[in-house]
Amino acid sequence: MSPLRVERWGRLPYPEAHARMKALLDARVGGRAPDTLVLCEHEPVFTLGRARGAAAHVHDPGGAPVIPVERGGDVTFHGPGQLVAYPVVGLPPHRRDLHAWLAGLETVAMRVLARWGVAGGRDARNTGVWVEGRKIAAIGIAVRRWVSWHGLSLNVDVDLAWFHRIEPCGMAPELVTRLADHVRPSPALDEVSAAFEADFRAWWAAWAAAPDAGLATPAPTE
């Protein structure tokens, strides 16, 4: 395995981030870029995943753009105070199991929360990480030739009023929470970003390198 590269893009509009992520995906698929973890923050935006009926779950975008994207899942919000992580990485042959990959992203987010004494967990309703029955991290990916892109958003001190303009992940907006609701004072976004980088590096190095026979499956379509 080549070393994982980490890129920090700061706060930027979603269309710019998407174009950069798409270029990075093309380079990774073509063997011109290493596995890369992108960490960033977005200006207010609603993104629509491929789930049927996602557009109907947007009720009042309040001037923020609504953008259809390639990832799985329903509608969600991205904005200031939310850490967004885009791992653009090739899943190794012995780890071509998308359920295990999603579970791994959940594991990383839970490890980050644990640094601040917050117990995150899973919920049978959908992917993501939950705290005390409310969702704190949303996950949605797309895959091309076994290279994963899009990723995870972790609510740090994001304005939750934005979620009340939609049905996030097709659910009631009251089911969304943030780290600031559980930790006082809330950690800075840069601090959470550094923790996510460290925990993702450690998890990815172990998970991607460990052999595990029997997981080879046909490549998914884009």
Q: What residues are labeled active site?
A: 169
| Identity of the amino acid at 177 | T
Collapsing DSSP to helix, strand or coil, 211 comes out as: coil
Query: What is the C-alpha to C-alpha distance for residues 186 and 199, in angstroms, rounded to an integer?
Result: 19
Q: Which DSSP string corresponds to 152-185?
A: EEEESS--GGGGGGB-GGGS-GGGB--GGGTSSS
Please answer whether residues 212 and 95 qualify as being in contact, where contact means their C-beta atoms are separated by less than 8 angstroms.
yes
State the sign of the Cα–Cα–Cα–Cα dihedral 168, 169, 172, 177.
negative
Q: In what order do the strands lie in the sheet with 66-68?
A: 66-68, 45-48, 75-78
Handedness of CA 19, 97, 206, 154 (dihedral sign): positive
Whether the Cβ atoms of residue 130 and residue 122 lie closer than 8 Å to each other: yes
